[in-house]
Amino acid sequence: MTRISMYDTTLRDGSQGEGVNFSLIDKLQITQKLDELGIDFIEGGYPLSNPKDSEYFAEVTKLKLRHSKVCAFGMTRRRDTKPQDDIGMRALVDAKVPVVTIVGKTWDLHVLDVLGVDLAENIAMIEDSVGYCKSQGVRVMYDAEHFFDGLRRNREYALSTIRAAEKAGAEAIILCDTNGGSLPEWVAEAVDMARREVSCQIGFHGHNDSDLATANSLIAVDHGVTQIQGTINGIGERCGNTDLICVIGNLQVKRKFDVLPADRIAHLTEVSRFIYETANMNLRSGQPFVGASAFAHKGGMHVHAVQKNVETYEHINPVLVGNTRRILLSELAGRSNVLALGKGKYELNPAQASRVLNQIQDLEHEGFQFEAADGSFDLLVRKELGLYESFFNTLHFRVNVEHDSTKVKPTTEATLKLQVKDKVFHVVGDGDGPVNALDSAMRKALEDIYPVLKDMSLVDYKVRVVNGRDGTAARVRVTIESRDLDDVWGTVGVHENIIDASWQALSASVEYKLHKSYAPATAGDQVKGSELVGNVVGKST
pLDDT tens per residue, the chain (541 residues)?
Answer: 789 999 999 999 999 999 899 999 999 999 999 999 999 999 999 998 788 889 999 999 999 999 999 999 999 999 989 999 999 999 999 999 999 999 999 999 999 999 999 999 999 999 999 999 999 999 999 999 999 999 999 999 999 999 999 999 999 999 999 999 999 999 999 999 999 999 999 999 999 999 999 999 999 999 999 999 999 999 999 999 999 999 999 999 999 999 999 899 999 999 999 999 888 888 898 999 999 888 877 766 776 676 677 777 788 888 899 988 766 555 555 556 666 656 656 777 778 777 877 777 777 777 787 767 888 888 888 888 888 888 999 999 999 988 877 777 788 999 999 999 889 999 999 988 889 999 999 999 999 999 999 999 988 888 888 765 566 567 888 989 999 888 888 899 999 899 999 999 999 999 999 988 887 554 434 444 444 444 333 333 3
The model scores a pTM over 0.75: no
CA-to-CA distance for 105 and 76, rounded, in angstroms? 9
At residue 491, the pLDDT reads 92
CA-to-CA distance for 113 and 105, rounded, in angstroms? 11
At residue 264, the pLDDT reads 93
Return all residues near 481 (Cβ < 8 A) that are at least 6 apart. 372, 458, 459, 460, 461, 488, 489, 490
At residue 528, the pLDDT reads 45
393-532: CATH topology: Double Stranded RNA Binding Domain (3.30.160)
Q: Where in the chain is the domain with CATH 3.30.160.270?
A: 393-532
Give the CATH number of domain 5-278.
3.20.20.70
CA-to-CA distance for 501 and 481, rounded, in angstroms? 14
At residue 332, the pLDDT reads 53
Residue 418 phi/psi, 5-degree rounding, is -120, 150
At residue 210, the pLDDT reads 97
Please, are residues 57 and 95 in contact by the beta-carbon 8 Å criterion?
yes
Quick one: DSSP state of residue 320? G
CA-to-CA distance for 435 and 478, rounded, in angstroms? 11
Distances (CA, A) of 431 to 239, 245, 426, 457: 42, 42, 17, 14
CA-to-CA distance for 225 and 204, rounded, in angstroms? 7
In 367-449, where do the E strands start and end?
Answer: 393-402, 411-420, 423-431
Q: Where in the chain is the domain with CATH 3.20.20.70?
A: 5-278
At residue 526, the pLDDT reads 42
At residue 525, the pLDDT reads 43
Give DSSP secondary structure letters for 484-525: -SS-EEEEEEEESSHHHHHHHHHHHHHHHHHHHHH--SSGGG
Return all residues near 253 (Cβ < 8 A) that are at least 6 apart. 265, 316, 320, 321
